[in-house]
Amino acid sequence: MSAPLLAAAALHVAYDGILAVQEVHLAVPAGRIVTILGPNGAGKSSLLNALMGVVPCAGCVTFAGHDLAAEGVEARVAMGLSLVPEKRELFSSMSVEDNLRLGRFRLRRGAGGEAALKKIFAMFPRLEERRHQQAGTLSGGERQMLAMGRALMGEPRLLMLDEPSLGLAPLVVRDILEAVARLRDAGVSILLVEQNARAALRIADYGYVLEGGRVVMEGPPATLQADGRIIESYLGFRAAEPA
Amino acid sequence: MPHRLLLPLLAALALLPLLPGFPPFWVTLLCYAGLAALVALGLVVLTGVAGLTSFGQAIFVGFGAYASAILTTRHGVSPWAALPAALLAAGVMAALIGALTLRLRGHYLAIATIAWNVSFYYLAANLDLTQRNDGISGIPPLRLGETALTEARAFYPLVLLCLGLALLATRNLLDSRVGRAIRALRGGALAAESFGVDTYRAKLLAFIYAGLLAGLSGWLYAHLQRAVNPSPFSLTMSIDYLLMAVAGGVQHLGGALLGALLVTLLRDQLQSLLPALLGAQGNFESIVFGLALVMLLQGAPQGLWPLLMRPFARWNGPRAAATPPPAAAPLPQRARPAPGTEILRAEDLQKRFGGLVAVNGVGFHLEAGEVVGLIGPNGAGKSTTFNLLTGVLAPTRGAVRFLGTPIAGLPARRIATLGIARSFQHVKLVHGMSVLENVALGAHLRGRAGALRAALRLDRAEEARLLALAWAQIERVGLAAVAHLPADSLALGQQRLVEIARALCLDPVLLLLDEPAAGLRHLEKAALSCLLDRLRAEGMTILLVEHDMDFVMSLTDRLVVMNFGAELAQGRPREIQRNPAVIDAYLGSAA
Amino acid sequence: MDLSILLVLVQDGIVNGAIYGLLALALVIVFTVTRIIWVPIGEFVSFGALTLAMLEAGQMPGTVALTALLGLGAAAARLWAARARLTPAGVARCLLTALLPAGLAALLAWACLAWGAPQPLRILAALAIVTPMAPFLYDTLYRPMAGASVLVLLIASVALHLALQGLGLIFFGAEGSRTESLADSLLEIGPLLVTGQSLIILAVTLVLIAALALFFGHTLLGKALRATAVNRLGARLVAIPPALCGHVAFTLAGGIAALGGILISATTTLYYDTGFLIALKGFVAAVIGGLASYPLAALGALLIGLVESFAAFNASAFKEVLVFMIIIPVLLWRSWRMPAALDEGEE
């Protein structure tokens, strides 16, 4: 693998007096899907928010060789880093199309929007059907597609997805993760935070398991799947994995 | 709160005019500063403590002043006898205005009070009752025996006396059961409601109290000035009062005093200085005041009093160690249902948010003396279920019965009275209040004393029992050593324990804990586990949401698993751990 | 009351209502985008009108100096905010965007005085002098306290109102002024006499509302402002800079308020402190719209204008009381319809 696109070293995130993330080292190579797995409350979201600059952190984060320490959220977006947050954070009273167009705000105020819009609609045809509908009226799966579409309109180099499968039915989850895999094939690097470990490991190139704010295990999917410790960290016991 | 410096400050103010050569005009200024301090003190309670901003305090000053002026000049009432009427007028008006606006968000109150104040000004300036713009003159002075208090020097002790009494009453009020409810309004309204506090009434109380202090100030004003007209009750004056409170330190009793002194004296100086400097007439001091206030908000948003107090922090600060409150007779306890009887049954609960179904057809029951875990992946609807049980949300469909009473859709504070206490996923403790006071908030429903008894310190016997109860619960969760510290200075794990102690103060039948072990260290988790075990042995029923599976599996008797808002499985921990559907829910299906 | 009086009152009410409506719109824009309840908007009404009056009288208004001073302050504040990563281009942009409008305003003012410009040009100059103050104040005052609560921002606004009103007294004195009407003609429509100025006020109001609707509905920048109002975090994640939105919102509001003052000053005498009272009525209208709804706020403004003009005729002494008491049924209705949810603390 070449030099990673995004690298974090000795990352600590603290708020309200607790350390949500401790001593995390992490690398996302260009053109790969890296997934972060772990049970609820393991610090996965805090980690993504810190990488995006939404919450402060200690440690060293570099993106494409640049140190991100002094950069705010907007600057990071401008560099090609994009986050689809767990709560989606859509503009609920605005139309699907407006949401998407605003995703391109950083690129000379939305230049080249038509072509980009076409690409998004090709990826998520459902969004084209709902083009003029208010974002707040969408179903959970459509919201996730819109949130991803909005992020992609800004043509990011690295897309960070926080629990894209959260609260979605299995079929929708499959659609969305397939879209993620296609994005990787189109050259976008992905950092995928998931609770749905099996689905994530199917498309990922590399994975980290976070527990109590620390990386307890990392490796390629095959290694992680073979290891019973994932189940242990999720359910608090070691069991024979049912195929 | 550091009140101990207030007494020397008041004493200094009392002695100041006795200095040889102290200019009489300055005594008059001090009188007016004292009157303003009374109003600002009300704002400390209202804005600083309860978090409600009023741009209309001059209205209540006006009601006090006009009531006394009208009664004494037209109906021959003695000035002293007019005092209760003045207070009544201001209080009733505050109750009316408050009832109309206090259910709305904070900034509506601020804007509404602006409108009220403008209206009041024009009313006073145009009604015959208030003699229009000319105002009422010839108001009789206050008399002590044969002496009329016409001179500022003679009036000044009365102002100081009123101020001293107001400070005392305010301190007493805030340091009581009702005071804790008022203090909980800032940031902790939901928690307060969950412990039976009627937050609307608490707001109204703070508003009326501030109105009464303003009315007292108005009564004094009428008999000091011996004439009233609309201009001292304009919006500008209301803004001035708020400015004084904010500049002095809106969260401190001393701040009101300091701000009033500072602004009154400075204004007087600037009023003579600035026109001379600028070579023109006009109230230019408002420019200086406006800019000073802006800079203060940017630089020291807490006001000047805390800055001033910093050097004294050492001998004025909290005592070095926590001392238990004196022992007191224990409070009566609720009858506990026999172990094994069903205490709660939820049936077919559903909650929709717009198009989103957060909880869908959940049903389960709880038996007295068991610990049940509610688990499931993120977004499964566990916290929403909690909120449906505790009245924070009303279910779209379905029923909940607790000890035979249907509780679905009841407000949180009604459910609290029935014996359900809870902790919160995002800790909700009142900032600035000590651990002991925060825990005592949980005992709100176990006391009766109201504002009047509190202000007059007639609530001490009951207060001692409440504090003794709170202390006992703090000891139980192992936080006695830090009971005197501000609750927000504790680590998150300890704050969760404070929440549990607070919940125990309610004397609950059912305890709902939302992620009690999150943020706890290993040993703390073990201690919490022991505590919950002991509570179960005492007959307490506990329902908990928790992600730490070791903790859940070792502690609970039974588990309810949720996924996609619906119930996925119920059973003993061992069965759940082997349930393939549960494993799939957590790890995702391999499909 | 006969028909002609009734029609005159309705006309007055609609004209004043239009001005209140403009102010209400400006207040709603600023509040939704920045969470600032912008009390000093009233001073912009006064400043706009009185700056024009001074230009008409051939005097240099003090507002020119104030704009220049605030421009310097804004440049300093922007440089300070960006001190961590300053590039020469960034420094130049900070200085230019702050100093250019101030310089332009001074130049226009000077040109007006030197060559006795016609009224439309003087109006343009007055707008150019007063409008930039709004974004400058945002830079110097509000941005350093961006994280503060709505209430703290409100108190800061009131303080700013005090300071600006005091400055207004210095600049313009205690005497009131009236500006030249843009159209002196009288139009007779049946029993109704319509003044040219009221037609202009209505036309300008409608054009402005249409322009705002276009801006917010059909431009990316306008949508970005709405997006910021709807979801702050979402807006940050698509790199909509909060400062840009603040500048646009404040510029719009400052310009609208100054224009409102200029329009109304041809129909009535304005004093240095009149703007505050006018703005308060805009507030009542905005509150009727829940500080969020533009159409409701506009309707509220119309209602206030009408109540005011009828009250002025029937009970002139209690005109203001009646106008401000409109807020009571509105608040009652609001508190009954949507009592404040148990907030997670004060915002």
pLDDT of residue B591: 42
CA closest to B297 among chain C residues: C156
Antiparallel, parallel or unpaired: β B566-571 and C186-189: unpaired
Distance CA B154, CA A209 (A): 78
Region A70-99: mean pLDDT is 92
Distance CA B173, CA B127 (A): 37
Neighbours of B302 (CB within 10 A): 15
Domain B339-419+508-591 has CATH 3.40.50.300: yes
Q: pLDDT in tens for each of the 591 residues of chain B? A: 456 778 888 888 888 888 888 888 999 999 999 999 999 999 999 999 998 989 999 999 999 999 999 999 999 999 999 999 999 999 999 999 998 888 777 677 888 888 889 999 999 999 999 888 899 999 999 999 888 999 999 999 999 999 999 999 999 999 999 999 999 998 668 889 999 999 999 999 999 999 999 999 999 999 999 999 999 999 989 989 998 998 899 899 999 999 999 999 988 888 888 877 777 676 778 888 888 888 888 888 788 888 888 877 665 555 556 788 888 888 888 888 988 899 999 999 999 876 678 899 899 999 999 999 998 877 788 888 999 999 988 999 999 999 999 999 899 999 999 999 999 988 889 888 999 999 999 999 999 999 999 999 999 999 999 999 999 999 999 899 999 998 888 877 888 899 999 999 999 999 999 988 877 777 888 889 999 999 999 899 999 998 788 888 889 999 999 988 888 899 999 898 888 888 887 776 544
Give long-range contacts, CB 8 A cutoff, 24+ apart: B143-148. Answer: B143/B79
| C146 min Cα distance to partner chain B (Å) | 10
- pLDDT over 60 at C340, yes or no: no
The residues spanned by each domain of chain B are 31-312, 339-419+508-591, 430-499
Tokens at B530, concatenated: 């022991």
Tell me the backbone φ, ψ of residue B292, rounded to 5 degrees. -60, -40
Facing residue for C227 by CB, picked from A77, A85, A94 = A94
- pLDDT over 90 at A107, yes or no: no
Tell me the backbone φ, ψ of residue A104, rounded to 5 degrees. -100, 15
Facing residue for A91 by CB, picked from C220, C231, C236 = C231
pLDDT of residue C194: 84
Region A11-15: mean pLDDT is 86
- pLDDT over 50 at C99, yes or no: yes
Facing residue for A77 by CB, picked from C85, C221, C238 = C238
- Residue in C156, C142, C154, C165 with CA at minimum distance from that of residue B247: C156
- Residues in chain C whose beta carbon is closer than 8 A to a beta carbon of chain A? 84-85, 220-221, 223-224, 226-227, 230-231, 233-241
> Are the C-beta atoms of residues A200 and A211 closer than 8 Å to each other?
no
Neighbours of A212 (CB within 10 A): 17
b/e per residue C150-189 (b: at least 16 CB within 10 A) = bbbbbbbbbbbbbbbbbbbbbbbbeebbebebbeeeeeee
A160 touches chain C (CB under 8 A): no
pLDDT digits (tens, 9 = 90+) for A108-125: 665 778 899 999 999 999
| C262 min Cα distance to partner chain A (Å) | 34
- Chain C residues close to B280, C-beta within 8 Å: 170
pLDDT of residue A235: 64
B119 touches chain C (CB under 8 A): yes
Contacts of C274 (CB under 8 A, 6+ apart): C45, C46, C176
Antiparallel, parallel or unpaired: β B510-514 and B420-422: parallel
Return the CATH architecture of domain A1-80+156-243: 3-Layer(aba) Sandwich (3.40)
Chains in contact with A, counting 3 or more C-beta pairs less than 8 Å apart as contact? B, C
Instruction: Judge: C154–B103 Cβ closer than 8 Å, yes or no.
Output: no
The owner of tokens 């500006």 is C179
| A233 min Cα distance to partner chain C (Å) | 31
Residue B50 DSSP SS3:
coil
pLDDT of residue B406: 95
pLDDT of residue B357: 81
pLDDT of residue C238: 94
**Amino acid occupying residue B317:** G
The owner of tokens 């965007």 is C97
B290 touches chain C (CB under 8 A): yes
- Segment 174-203 of chain A within 8 Å of chain B by CB: 174, 194-200
> Are the C-beta atoms of residues B465 and B527 closer than 8 Å to each other?
no
Q: Which helix (H) or strand (E) holds B286?
A: helix B285-299
> Are the C-beta atoms of residues B159 and B16 closer than 8 Å to each other?
no
Chains in contact with C, counting 3 or more C-beta pairs less than 8 Å apart as contact? A, B
- Chain C residues close to B294, C-beta within 8 Å: 141, 156, 159-160, 163
Q: Which helix (H) or strand (E) holds B353?
A: strand B342-353
A98 touches chain C (CB under 8 A): yes
Could you say which DSSP state residue B46 is in? I
| C234 min Cα distance to partner chain A (Å) | 5
Neighbours of C59 (CB within 10 A): 12
pLDDT of residue B100: 82
- Chain A residues close to B591, C-beta within 8 Å: 170, 174
Query: What is the pLDDT confidence band of residue A140, given thresholds at 50, 70 and 90?
Result: confident
Instruction: Judge: B377–A195 Cβ closer than 8 Å, yes or no.
Output: yes
pLDDT of residue C337: 66
- pLDDT over 90 at C315, yes or no: no
The owner of tokens 């969020």 is C292
Report residue A75 CA to chain centroid gap: 18
Distance CA C70, CA B382 (A): 53
Q: Which of B267-281, B410-424, C20-34, C196-210 has the lowest mean pLDDT?
A: B267-281
Contacts of B131 (CB under 8 A, 6+ apart): none
Facing residue for A105 by CB, picked from C231, C233, C238 = C238
pLDDT of residue B190: 85
Instruction: Judge: C231–A90 Cβ closer than 8 Å, yes or no.
Output: yes
B560 touches chain A (CB under 8 A): no
Region C314-320: mean pLDDT is 84
- Chain B residues close to A242, C-beta within 8 Å: 580, 583
Quick one: CA torsion of B519, B522, B527, B532, rounded to 10 degrees?
60
- Whole-complex ipTM: 0.90
pLDDT digits (tens, 9 = 90+) for A185-236: 999 999 999 878 888 899 999 999 988 888 989 999 999 888 877 776 676 5
C193 touches chain B (CB under 8 A): no
Tell me the pTM: 0.86
Region A66-90: mean pLDDT is 91
Distance CA B414, CA C274 (A): 50
- Chain C residues close to B116, C-beta within 8 Å: 324
> Are the C-beta atoms of residues C130 and C63 closer than 8 Å to each other?
yes
**What are the distances in angstroms from CA B28 to CA B61, B229, C210?**
18, 19, 57
The residues spanned by each domain of chain A are 1-80+156-243, 91-155
> Are the C-beta atoms of residues B378 and B349 closer than 8 Å to each other?
no
A78 touches chain B (CB under 8 A): no
Domain B31-312 has CATH 1.10.3470: yes
pLDDT of residue B46: 95
Tell me the backbone φ, ψ of residue C50, rounded to 5 degrees. -75, -30
pLDDT of residue C342: 46
Distance CA C319, CA A179 (A): 64
